[in-house]
Structure 1
Amino acid sequence: MSRKWASRTIIVYLIFIAAIYWYLFYGADTEIPAALKGTSADPAVFLNGREQEISSEYSKIRNFLFFLSTPYEWVFYMLILLAGLPRLFERWAQSSSKKTVVQNGIFLFWISASTLLATMPLNYIGYRLSRFYHISTQTVPSWMKDELIGFWVNFGLMWIVLTVLYWLIRKYEKKWWLYAWLLSVPFTLFLMFIQPVIIDPLYNDFYPLKDKQLEKQILQLAAKADIPAEHVYEVNMSEKTNSMNAYVNGIGSNSRIVLWDTTLEKLSDDEILFIMAHEMGHYVEKHLYFGIAGYLSLSLAGLWLASRIMNYFIRRWGRTFKISSVSSLASFPLFLLITSVLLFISSPLANYVARYEEMRADTYAIKMTEDKEAGIHSFQELTKSGLSEVNPPFLVKLFRYTHPTMLERIQMLENWEEKN
């Protein structure tokens, strides 16, 4: 039975990958509509022929890697369950210590290390791809350092999650999902509070914006929007990437306005002010809090579904998956598999809401700055630096895009004066 499950899983995965490959490289239509040819949304206007060709190549390969890697993780979880590795790791953990917390840590380490080794080839291919197309400027040692930091940060957080989750499963057999969700609310808020000041600095150096004249202009915009900001932060990203970004993150007293140094190097002050007005639009319209509420709502539904699916799978195929009960640590990869699939299925809805909020932030930026040209040029430069597709395939937009396409964003700015 295990061999049949394994072979069918691999066959389905290969069929899926073949279908996605055909869709991305041959079936998808990414042409600019005829009505927009020659407008500022047309890549031919702001990219030369070679840049357009490179952008198309890079986008197709990057999108293919995304659709390759997400189900690859599911296949990995399926295969290790069928091979009985989680049960073996659980026995090792139980024989190594009598303390449950220590057992959880040992078990999680072996699961995390196995996952890291299994996914490392695809992660490295993604890194080399970005290096080849001059998106990434990061050295191999620096990339490996970030991978290791990410591993230990995730391990620490997942150790807490695993310990609490399986304590709840053993104590509340039927309602563990509800109590797990209730505890996830303060945990999520705590992580968002500490991320700007503890987690983010593990990866990059943050410091006050060096250009004090520009900082003054940004803070004037913030004051105009009633945003209580005292500083703007700059982050050293040029050592890792040529792409650009800016964001506002964190909650409460730890919230930060952050600009990548690449953005400062490649955009004019007017264009940066437009980008910052966009980020302030998120703050003014309270998108962060709507996002938290949406995430917590989806996680409640997700945990309930995960509990039902786990019970069904273990009741029907527990022997095949080498899982004796839901309360066994060996069921954790099954939990990860189910939640990963549920997140993927729900991503089109989450992305749709995110795109709506991004368009609202663009609208806020153009109202605040009244500088259409700065907005258009900043979007063109963002496209150029990140080799983004202006008009991506439908499935790519559905599952990957948390922002409107550059075609939609530039077109909105182009038509702003006519509509208003």
Structure 2
Amino acid sequence: MKIKWAFRVVIAYLLFGILMYLYLFHMANTSIPTNLKGTSADPATFLNSRELFLSEDYSKIRNLLFFLSTPYEWLFYFLILILGISTVFEKWSRHTSRNRIIQTLIYLFWFSLASFIFTFPLSYISYRFSCIYHISTQTFHSWMKDEIIDFWVNYVTMFVIVFVLYALMKKFKKKWWLMAWLLSIPFTIFMTFIQPVVIDPLYNHFYPLKDKALEAKILALADKAHIPANHVYEVNMSAKTNALNAYVTGIGSNSRIVLWDTTLNKLSDREILFIMAHEMGHYVEKHIYFGMAGYIILTLIGLWLISKIMAYMVKKYGRTLNLTSISQISSLPLFLMISSMLIFAASPLTNWGSRYEETRADRYAIHLTHDKKAGIKAFQDLTRSGLSEVNPPLLVKIFRYDHPTMMERILRLEKYKNK
């Protein structure tokens, strides 16, 4: 019976993949509206024929991989549960030691290793396509190094979360979700605080901006926006990608303004200042704090739903899933599967909120710099460097885009210009 369920789920995943392929490659409409032909939002006006072809081709592949990757994780969690592999990992951990800390470390190691191996093919395919389309400049050795760092960073973070979570499940059988939520608040703030100075440097080298003349312009802009900033940081991303980016990260004394060196190499000073003004808009309007507040609220709702769904699943399908209680650590795949499904279901809402904040930041950049031409050119260059679609399919926009589409962003600048 369990083998039949596993087979049915695999078939369902394959059918879903076929449907998404048909939608993205044959049914979705990504053409520019007729009234926008020839405008600055029309990619034909700023991309050559080869860039247009590559943009359309790569976007379809990237979108397909996005829609395949999340259900692929669900497939892993389901198979490792129903085939009893999670239970085997738990038995190994118990036979090795009676100490709960060591048991959690051992179980998580085998679980994380199995997850890494299972998801590696899709990760590698995504990496290879980014190389083929000249988005990634990263060597396999460098990419693999990042994957291994990811493995250990996730392993350490997961250990802290899982050990505390399952200790709460054992102690507070019905209200564990509330206790877990209360503890998640300081943990979230702490992780946001240490991200720029502890985690990010594990992947890339950060250093003060070399172009001091440009730094002076950025700091003058920050002063105009009443942002206390003494340094702008540069990160060496050109060894990994041709894409462009800039961001503000961290909170309190660890907050940083960061520019990728690819952005510095490919954009003019005016374009960089517009992008910096956009990032300053996030800071001025305190989007990082609103984002944290939203995350904390959604975590409360999510943990409550997970507690109800897990209790129901164990009660009704416990034998099939090889579970007798939600507090046994082998139920972790069920916890992660439900969490991932809820996050995916909530993504239209969270993406909408993020797109609203990005729109606000764009407007702030216009008011701060009064340089619409630089903004339009920057968005066009971002499209070219990332081979992005200016008008993605509806499902892609809803489930994947946490920024407005480039067509929307450029049109907003054009309309502001007309005023």
Please give the TM-score of this superposition, normalised by the length of structure 1.
0.99
Q: Which residue of 2 aligns with 1:157?
A: 157
Q: CA deviation at 1:98?
A: 1.4
- The correspondence of residues 331-350 of structure 1 with structure 2, limited to 5 A, is 331-350=331-350
Matched with 1:394 is: 394
Report the Cα offset of residue 13 of structure 1. 1.1
Aligned to 1:217: 217
Q: CA RMSD of the aligned region, Å?
A: 0.6
**What's the CA shift string for 1:68-87, capped at 9, x where partnerless?**
11101101111111110111
State the Cα distance separating 1:333 from its structure 2 match: 0.6
**1:110: Cα distance to partner?**
0.5
Q: In the alignment, what sits opposite 1:378?
A: 378
Tell me if 1:43 matches 2:43: yes
One-letter amino acid of the structure 2 residue matched with residue 352 of structure 1: W
Which string of whole-angstrom CA distances, capped at 9 and with x for unpartnered residues, describes residues 334-359 of structure 1?
Answer: 00000000000000100000001001
1:7-406 equivalences in 2 (<5 Å) = 7-406=7-406
CA deviation after TM superposition for structure 1 residue 232, in Å: 0.1
Q: Secondary structure at the match of 1:247?
A: strand
- Name the amino acid aligned to 1:45: T
**1:32 alignment partner AA:** I
Paired residues of 2:3 and 2:83 also in contact (CA < 8 A)? no
CA positional deviation for 1:11:
2.0
Q: Distance in 2 between matches of 1:138 and 1:50?
A: 23
The 2-side partners of 1:142 and 1:342 are apart by: 33
SS at match of 1:415: helix
Measured in 1, the distance between the counterparts of 2:200 and 2:76 equals: 29
In the aligned structure 2, how far is the partner of 1:369 from the partner of 1:271? 10
SS in structure 2 of the partner of residue 136 of structure 1: coil
Deviation at 1:16, TM superposition (A): 1.1
Q: Secondary structure at the match of 1:319?
A: coil
Matched residues in 2 for 1:61 and 1:164: separation? 39
SS of 2:29's equivalent in the other structure is coil
Give, in angstroms, the shift of residue 12 of structure 1.
Answer: 1.6
Render the CA deviation track for 1:188-233: whole Å, top value 9, x for unaligned: 0000000000100000000000000110110111111111111000
Paired with 2:406 and 2:417, the residues of 1 have a C-alpha distance of: 18
Runs of at least 4 residues off by over 6 Å: none
1:237-257 residue CA offsets vs partner (Å, 9 max, x unmatched): 000000000000000000000
Cα displacement string for residues 300-338 of structure 1 (whole angstroms, at most 9, x for unaligned residues): 100000010000000000000011111111100100000
Distance 2:71 2:6 in 1: 14
Instruction: Write the distance in 1 (CA, Å) between the matches of 2:3 and 2:142.
Output: 40
Cα separation, 1, equivalents of 2:19 and 2:129: 22
Gaps of 5+ in 2: none
SS at match of 2:173: coil
Contact persistence 2:208–2:231 (CA under 8 A): yes
Deviations 1:347-391 (A, max 9, x none): 010000000100110000011100010000000000000000000
Matches of 1:290 and 1:121, distance apart in 2 = 36
Percent identity between the aligned chains? 64
CA distance in 1, matches of 2:387, 2:119: 25
1:112 positional shift: 0.4
Shift of 1:418: 2.8
User: Which residue identity lines up with residue 253 of structure 2 in the other structure?
Assistant: S
Deviation at 1:88, TM superposition (A): 0.6
Letter of the aligned partner of 1:210 in structure 2?
K
The 2-side partners of 1:88 and 1:324 are apart by 14
- The 3-state SS of whatever aligns with 1:67 is helix
CA distance in 2, matches of 1:365, 1:392: 24
Query: Structure 1: which 5+ residue stretches go unaligned?
Result: none
Deviations 1:368-420 (A, max 9, x none): 1000100000000000000000000000001110100000000000110334x
Deviations 1:112-141 (A, max 9, x none): 000000000110000000000000000000
CA–CA distance in structure 1, aligned partners of residues 218 and 383 of structure 2: 23
For 2:299, the aligned partner's letter is S
Distance 1:343 1:404 in 2: 20
Secondary structure at the counterpart of residue 207 of structure 2: strand
Aligned length: 419
Q: Aligned partners of 1:237, 1:4: CA distance in 2, in Å?
A: 47
**Deviation at 1:14?**
1.6
Q: Following the alignment from structure 2 to structure 1, what is the Cα–Cα distance between the partners of residues 149 and 86?
A: 24
Following the alignment from structure 1 to structure 2, what is the Cα–Cα distance between the partners of residues 242 and 207?
19
Relative to the length of structure 2, the TM-score reads 0.99
Question: In 2, Cα distance between the equivalents of 1:300 and 1:8?
Answer: 33
Matches of 1:147 and 1:64, distance apart in 2: 21
